[in-house]
A and B are shown apart, each in its own frame.
Chain A
């Protein structure tokens, strides 16, 4: 039963990675920017709800609404002010500066604000479905929060897939990522899509944080780790393919759990990172991350 329990734990962690990977990949597709602040939105979701309820004694619904609203507003303002100045002006920034550093700076900023607001202790939003782990006859244990996470990840994944496959605006998103100017010329407002997807993924990340925090607990600096794993999983999807990113996320979660359970608890992470790096280096071109030769 050890394997079963590890597998379930891995699936839950993996679905978390997958969710953030999808958020990163979907937005990269429209904007060609990596959202390295996605984990920080999750952290704000978890710690914000916790703080409003525990310290300010707000009811759950109000706390969730206020926190998610704040995250959405932050994302909206960030896009309207910073990304607009960086991308929509006369000098459109491209390359590594815009790909990495603007959201990286946002991540720093959010962490700094969270440190001031929430302190440095580990906290978590209250579980939305409280109670002990569900135990099945066969000896499998499943945390209730884990089930919520899995369900939410599956729903979000399915919705994104349907949206991109079957709706016109989903197709438009694809076009934005393929060719910025080309998409603009045929009348697709990439700026609008960039903004909408950024805000939507920020909200989703915050909700994930609220659902997931009872499992792992968050501090003001947890966001970076989440963004990091999401980034890695998204990378295995070539940053462009949310579906592949989701699969990669789940696989990484399962691998991590199995390594922790069977090889060594202490070295599980190190080993995992080494495997992940090696996988990229075996065939660097396989992930489709290198820019094509022009011509």
Chain B
């Protein structure tokens, strides 16, 4: 308990927050593309290399959008070639039939295709996952059918243009002009895509891609985001198509067909699906490979087949992933070497040197403290070496010591939005609200799965402070009840009142925004992202903003700041920069808990937080729960009856979907029903 203060202070001093310059990454990415492009154009605009480069860059505009839509957010829609065709044919028609300059036509067509994408997307984006892939896989075939029978588009062959993006009498000027326009457009595309991905909305998209249920439970408007992603991907594709038409001066009918779609997907996955620069690089790789020697172009299918297989076997994140691993390896080995030499010279602990060297890097590593949560410190998960946060190592935890600001802010949190209770009825900080306004009132809840009735006439009410246990044998309906309160499952009968207002029709994301937060029975975290980012998912203010605002504004650091206070409150600051996949089970459960409380919820739904934890770890959890229960209402689903009896002020027991017990811990211990059902006495 005494060490707690000391180590917390040390942790606070050691780590800086992630890089503040949010524009740096996107500008660097765009700068790389533009820089390389300008050099290549200046040197080879008229040479063969130059023409291949421009064509590859055209595809790269499309794949940059795909990296956001398909790679990062995992919305697999096979609609790119269709929108590329829309862009290209649109420019061709405006240019050839109406005599409009190609550049202006490209702009108009891109905007127009945004409208088309919005209309089509309103239908298409209702589907997600495999359904989206199935619904859109026919699009290229429909487009081919349409184009080949449309004689004014040139039918099976295609359509020529009369003027390029940069019309000029001299062919050199045209080639250079077209090249620079393409480079500029690609630069903008890369900037926009990278900027969106690195923003707070990018984190939303990442979660949406990994786990839609988790995204909803953390406030993400998944349907809106899916539509925006479809529009974004489609507009990038149309822009690429427009540039294609304006630089190649001919739109082949094959541009809309499935082979184009497959090539684009190949570029994306070989390059690296989650990386915009990777997707650009993929476009160059595939374009370069197919333009190579005679042998390769004749056997292009074999080469591409082997290339995809090998790249994805080595690294699912493609060439970009391979590149990143190399960079990480260099970064890790260089400071480690420096630290080792420093340590051998002075005999001092190397930890400080490592921490100091890593501070400049994006995630705060804070000297890699808190070994107890990290898998690398395996021998005895509680392994207390004294330099981790005491909260995790000495078997005790004191909320009073940690992050008083967070606690105070939570305590002062307003009543749920949309609650019918008048302002005056709010609970004063620290005190209990008027008995009349219960926070949660479930009445007559029933749930049928076909003929199976898993919940039957369950009613319970929770006030706005305290811990409430929900127990029952497996299959009793505990998780279903939790899902009904959380909004991921709709009840067949009954009402759920929250703050006096009916919540029945609210989706999970709305409930989250009104202060309902939950954890899942199985750990649901985003592997590959830091602890801090995992917790920041619950601290985003971007849910109501449109995707486009991600281009101009990045509030990810604000979310990370909030997340950090929650981590501090739980004494976990030291692991904030660690990848969640390297944490022990306790660590991962603690991150889930941190994420669940980071939004300072009014109602906290915990689904078996103690499962898989050791006795000591449960002891710590108990203390945390008690502290949290003073601030908010906790519904705790748990099999550890001791833990429930020790923390909960009231316990509900479900059996075969019916509420068979509701009462305090004393009654719970002595209840015959409970003992026969859960203890086997």
Contacts and interface: CB of A to CB of B under 8 A. Distances in A.
A187 interface: no
Contacts of A292: 213
Contacts of A228: 137, 258
A269 B135 contact: no
A96 interface: yes
Contacts of B132: 284
A135 interface: no
Given A281-B124, A294-B213, A287 B134 contact: yes
Contact of A108 (B142, B305, B482, B488): B305
Nearest to B71: A96
A236 B138 CA distance: 13
Nearest to A274: B142
A115 B301 contact: yes
B216 interface: yes
Contacts of A130: none
Contact of B126 (A108, A115, A235, A281): A281
Interface residues of A, number: 50
Interface stretch (A17-25, A99-107, A198-206): A99-107
A269 to B, nearest CB: 6
Interface in A97-123: 97, 99-102, 104-113, 115-116
Nearest to A115: B301
B216 A293 contact: yes
Contacts of A161: none
A86 B315 CA distance: 10
B483 A106 contact: no
A294 B146 contact: no
A293 to B, nearest CB: 4
Contacts of A57: none
Contacts of B443: none
B328 to A, nearest CB: 15
A65 interface: no
**Interface on chain A toward B: helix, strand, loop, or mixed SS?**
helix
Contacts of B216: 293
Nearest to B74: A96
Interface string A116-136: 100000000000000000000
Interface stretch (B306-314, B408-416, B558-566, B651-659): B306-314
A239 interface: yes
A269 B127 contact: no
A277 B301 contact: no
Nearest to A86: B313
A138 interface: no
A93 interface: yes
Contact of A112 (B129, B136, B303): B303
B493 interface: no
A277 B133 CA distance: 10
Interface stretch (B172-180, B516-524, B595-603): B516-524
A100 B301 CA distance: 17
A232 interface: yes
B76 A96 contact: yes
A295 B482 contact: yes
B479 interface: yes
B522 A112 contact: no
Contacts of A86: 312-313
B138 A232 contact: yes
Contacts of A102: 308-309, 312
Contacts of B308: 101-102, 104-105, 108
Contact of A284 (B74, B131, B138, B521): B131
Given A235-B130, A289-B131, A109 B309 contact: yes
Residue among A113, A270, A280 having the largest count of chain B Cβ atoms under 10 Å:
A280
A82 interface: yes
B208 interface: no
B520 A284 contact: no
A235 B76 CA distance: 15
Given A101-B308, A270-B146, A93 B316 contact: yes
A105 B286 CA distance: 14
B124 to A, nearest CB: 7
B607 interface: yes
A203 to B, nearest CB: 21
B59 interface: no
B123 A108 contact: no
B630 to A, nearest CB: 26
A108 B134 contact: no
Contacts of A107: 305
A232 B134 contact: yes
A215 B579 CA distance: 56
A273 interface: yes
Contacts of A93: 312, 316
10 contacts: A96-B76, A97-B273, A109-B306, A269-B145, A273-B145, A284-B128, A284-B131, A291-B129, A291-B212, A295-B607
